[in-house]
């Protein structure tokens, strides 16, 4: 297998300063928020790479940079060996962009309410001047809807059906890579299972590659081949689902798994997670997790740990594999 996505030292900083006049009058400095900090990873072709973490960890920002919606502040994202932001050959960039697609989180907000479903699905293909006859009907049937639904408007569908339309639109341009930004978080559990099974089947049938973004560990375990755990914009652990769920190596991953609901968890007593996510505008020194970590040492407060290999996975921790929940 070959890597379809190569991310190196990816960083994204947002300027969240007050307007210029307010800063002059109130004598305020500029303020910058680091949403993603020095992230490096590889996504293999025809696999599912999942990003998981608390809200504000930088998952969606990475997804948007991968598909070219946001430029990185530093580092690089290469799709099929092409950097969308630095490549000077427009034909190469256009070719790579045609291999990318995205499924957004909210199926109610990501569909144009004034367009019929046929126009929504065919838009990515029609924009390139290609023929679209029968395309929408074929894709609707592929995602479990009826060809007759092509003439309807989005408000005529339920949330699960709308997300199927979003999947059909993502497939319209025949992409190789689809970034799925929490595609089932707005749906109830039974509909989530239907959409996830559909996406899994389409991946196998069409040879797709997914960058799957979610905060739901159950969904991640079901879908992923490789899991990357993000904390405050930093990749702290990368492992297979078996490694991650059976023996989490980073204290933050251990905390996430301990806090997750379990089918056999009735009556169990688990200490709640301690502390809050630090301010990304003024992040802690050293390891970003050290203010909440029971294993933290003086080294953790002073130095940022590198993401290094440990027992078949990658962990950014000075005490990898130690149990932080005892």
pLDDT tens digit sequence for 127-144: 877 888 889 999 999 898
Average pLDDT for residues 5-28, to the nearest whole number? 94
- At 11 the pLDDT is 96
In a domain, 247, yes or no: yes
Q: Does residue 121 have a pLDDT over 80?
A: yes
Name the burial class of residue 153, with classes exposed (0-12), middle (13-18) and buried (19+) by CB atoms within 10 angstroms of its CB. middle
Tell me the two tokens of residue 102: 């995205």
- At 192 the pLDDT is 83
- At 83 the pLDDT is 92
Mean pLDDT of the chain: 89
In a domain, 17, yes or no: yes
Q: Does residue 1 have a pLDDT over 60?
A: no
Is residue 159 very low, low, confident or very high in pLDDT (cuts 50, 70, 90)? confident
By C-alpha distance, which of 263, 259, 251 is closest to 316? 251
Tell me the two tokens of residue 306: 């590198």
Q: Note the pTM of the prediction, 2 decimals.
A: 0.91
Q: Does residue 309 have a pLDDT over 70?
A: yes
- At 265 the pLDDT is 58
Strands 226-231 and 48-52: parallel
Q: Give the integer Cα–Cα distance in Å for 81 and 39.
A: 18
- At 50 the pLDDT is 96
In a domain, 134, yes or no: no
Name the burial class of residue 83, with classes exposed (0-12), middle (13-18) and buried (19+) by CB atoms within 10 angstroms of its CB. middle
pLDDT tens digit sequence for 203-237: 999 899 999 999 888 889 889 999 999 999 999 99
- At 242 the pLDDT is 93
Q: Are 5 and 39 in contact (CB under 8 A)?
A: no
Average pLDDT for residues 289-307, to the nearest whole number? 93
In a domain, 65, yes or no: yes
Domain total of the chain: 1
- At 323 the pLDDT is 83
In a domain, 240, yes or no: yes
Helix (H) or strand (E) holding 254, with range, is helix 251-259
pLDDT tens digit sequence for 42-90: 999 999 999 999 888 999 999 999 999 999 999 999 999 999 899 989 8
- At 266 the pLDDT is 60
Average pLDDT for residues 172-187, to the nearest whole number? 88
In a domain, 288, yes or no: yes
Domain housing 21: 3-87+216-262+271-315
pLDDT tens digit sequence for 234-259: 999 999 999 999 999 999 999 888 87
Q: Does residue 321 have a pLDDT over 90?
A: no
Is residue 326 very low, low, confident or very high in pLDDT (cuts 50, 70, 90)? low
In a domain, 154, yes or no: no
E strand residue ranges, the chain: 3-15, 32-44, 48-52, 74-79, 82-83, 100-103, 177-181, 209-213, 226-231, 234-239, 308-310, 313-315
Q: How far is CA 42 from CA 50, 175, 207, 311, in A?
A: 11, 18, 18, 18
In a domain, 211, yes or no: no
Is residue 272 very low, low, confident or very high in pLDDT (cuts 50, 70, 90)? low
What CATH number does residue 34 fall under? Answer: 3.40.50.300
Backbone angles phi, psi at 42, to 5 degrees: -125, 140
């Amino acid at each position: 297998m070959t890597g379809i996505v190569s991310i190196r030292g990816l960083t994204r900083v947002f300027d969240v300063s007050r307007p210029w006049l307010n800063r002059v009058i109130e004598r305020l400095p500029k303020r910058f928020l680091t949403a993603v900090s020095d992230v490096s990873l590889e996504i293999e072709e025809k696999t599912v790479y999942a990003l998981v973490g608390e809200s504000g960890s930088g998952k969606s920002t990475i997804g948007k940079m991968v598909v070219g919606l946001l430029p990185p502040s530093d580092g690089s994202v290469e799709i099929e060996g092409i950097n969308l932001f630095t490549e000077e050959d427009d034909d190469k960039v256009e070719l790579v962009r045609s291999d990318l697609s995205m499924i957004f989180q909210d199926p109610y907000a990501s569909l144009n309410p004034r367009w019929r479903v046929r126009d929504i699905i065919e838009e990515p293909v029609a924009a390139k001047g290609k023929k679209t006859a029968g395309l929408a009907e074929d894709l609707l049937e592929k995602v479990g809807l009826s060809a007759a639904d092509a003439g309807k408007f989005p408000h005529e569908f339920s949330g699960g059906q709308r997300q199927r339309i979003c999947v059909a639109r993502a497939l319209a341009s025949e992409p190789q890579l689809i970034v799925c930004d929490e595609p089932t978080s707005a749906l109830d559990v039974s509909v989530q299972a239907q959409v996830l099974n559909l996406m899994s089947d389409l991946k196998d049938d069409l040879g797709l590659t997914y960058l799957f973004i979610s905060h739901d560990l159950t969904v991640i375990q079901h879908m992923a081949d490789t899991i990357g755990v993000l904390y405050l914009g930093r990749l702290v652990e990368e492992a297979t689902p078996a490694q991650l769920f059976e023996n989490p190596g980073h204290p933050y991953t251990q905390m996430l798994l301990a806090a997750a609901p379990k089918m056999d968890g009735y009556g169990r007593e688990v200490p709640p997670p301690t502390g809050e996510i630090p301010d990304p505008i003024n992040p802690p020194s050293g390891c970003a997790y050290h203010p909440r970590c029971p294993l933290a040492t003086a080294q953790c407060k002073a130095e940022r740990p590198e993401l290094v290999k440990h027992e078949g996975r990658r962990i950014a921790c000075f005490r990898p594999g130690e149990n932080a929940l005892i």
